[in-house]
Structure 1
């Protein structure tokens, strides 16, 4: 395992943060959500346990924050069994190379995301023309070139199981990206949704900064297949999750979650799909 790993040449720190940045929420005894600037990472495992995993890898330049937050929860010199990626957009893999080098652990992603994680293919360009606000206008400055994890990244098992994470299964939820996945645990109906839907309107700078909570579709400026995105939200709503951690915004639970998800499914074309933009057909 000595492949040279590298970020794209456009990788850089993005100077934008929400009021929630640096704060963590214990959603369940073994489910911890931590906000890094404008994106969430998730630790799955009981506090102080030896076996746990990290879901997603934050913003560029956030490795030290992720390591220290992990050590606060699991003890000095702890390391996860694996890093699991919901998808490979820059704000979900921003610190992954430093973390792999520090922890020497494998990374898992859906096989359709692997070209974007092994240097073979860039995501479609973000769409700054899309309806929705200032963050969309800023999106051309976001890193978009593929990173290369070489043989440090491998695909999730085809049977839906999640390596190092018993009780959860991965669910293919494309639309926002081709190989986007969410993680679901039947026992308590806990959902880690990634960006399949989010609980803050991610295009609005004001709402991102204040973390004003409302369920919304995936971030508009990077979503290229709206029909698939709608189908994915429908698939997750059918699971009737009791609690959901999303890639952006605060965790949501109970009746608020089920009502908001139902509304999103029924009115996805009005709430989520922008009125205009280059990926809107």
Structure 2
């Protein structure tokens, strides 16, 4: 694992930074695809893990959640408007033909959500922010004391800084509003679901301004 900030580590992946999983204090944030289970499990061996948070109900973020919660005996937490999608493994999709086709692909195993998170809740010293758009119940984690932000897929940082693809986003206009909200925080460190960490708040503001 790679230390990024006090109490915040990024699990190693192949290729690096493509689908990110984090350990925030003793809380696992996201779980990658179903194929990531062994990689994540190996890196958590010997760690104290008390809970698992899913930033949003897409299969590349809760793909291994069922297996890891069962293996480590930990509860699953998610945004309250994504609970049903995780518990039934039926993510909300964007309008159009391509998203409809993607929704027919094999989905991860469903898993009960033990805690429905909402705006203002505390997770390992971070504040939960309700930032819908990419999914109905998408959440971000914000630590104001040092400006660390885990933004899930509100932004992508794969090659360049962008929003998520519209065809993978439940409500693109709502996501753009969430992008503007997070950029306004001027975080000192942004950690993405996809892409390398960013330490330049001006880039967020230029993208959303």
What interval of TM-score do these two structures reach, taking the shorter chain for normalisation? 0.7 to 0.9
Q: Offset of 1:161 from its aligned partner?
A: 2.0
Q: 1:39 to 1:143 in 2, by over 3 A?
A: farther
Checking the alignment, whether the CA contact within 8 Å between 2:64 and 2:108 is kept in structure 1 is no
Q: Offset of 1:113 from its aligned partner?
A: 0.1
Q: Offset of 1:126 from its aligned partner?
A: 8.1
The alignment partner of 1:235 has SS state of helix
Q: Are 1:105 and 2:103 an aligned pair?
A: no
Q: 1:176 to 1:144 in 2, by over 3 A?
A: farther
Write the distance in 2 (CA, Å) between the matches of 1:144 and 1:127.
19
Write the distance in 2 (CA, Å) between the matches of 1:40 and 1:180.
16
Write the distance in 1 (CA, Å) between the matches of 2:13 and 2:39.
8
Q: Offset of 1:142 from its aligned partner?
A: 8.1
User: 1:124-159 CA deviation, whole Å, 9 max, x = no partner?
Assistant: 2686769xxxxxxxx838846474213x43201x46
Write the distance in 2 (CA, Å) between the matches of 1:59 and 1:120.
13
Q: Give the TM-score normalised by structure 1.
A: 0.66
CA RMSD of aligned residues (A): 2.4
Q: Give the one of 157, 173, 193 matched to 1:199.
A: 157
Q: Offset of 1:188 from its aligned partner?
A: 0.1
Q: Give the TM-score normalised by structure 2.
A: 0.87
Q: Give the one of 162, 167, 179 matched to 2:122.
A: 162
Q: Give the one of 46, 54, 64 matched to 1:85.
A: 54
Q: Give the one of 161, 166, 172 matched to 1:220.
A: 166
Q: Offset of 1:43 from its aligned partner?
A: 0.9
Residue equivalent to 1:244: 190
Write the distance in 2 (CA, Å) between the matches of 1:33 and 1:222.
24
| Deviation larger for 61-70 or 114-123 | 114-123
Checking the alignment, whether the CA contact within 8 Å between 2:32 and 2:61 is kept in structure 1 is yes
Q: Give the one of 35, 40, 43 matched to 2:23.
A: 43
User: 1:167-199 CA deviation, whole Å, 9 max, x = no partner?
Assistant: x10101111000000000010010000001111
Write the distance in 2 (CA, Å) between the matches of 1:233 and 1:39.
19
Write the distance in 2 (CA, Å) between the matches of 1:248 and 1:91.
10
For residues 1-281 of structure 1, the aligned pairs below 5 Å read 24-37=1-14, 38-45=18-25, 52-71=26-45, 76=46, 78-119=47-88, 121-124=90-93, 140=102, 143=105, 145=107, 147-150=109-112, 152-156=113-117, 158=118, 160-163=120-123, 165-166=124-125, 168-200=126-158, 212=159, 214-253=160-199, 257-266=200-209
Residue equivalent to 1:48: none
Structure with higher strand content: 2
Write the distance in 2 (CA, Å) between the matches of 1:119 and 1:129.
21
How many residues were matched structurally?
A: 205
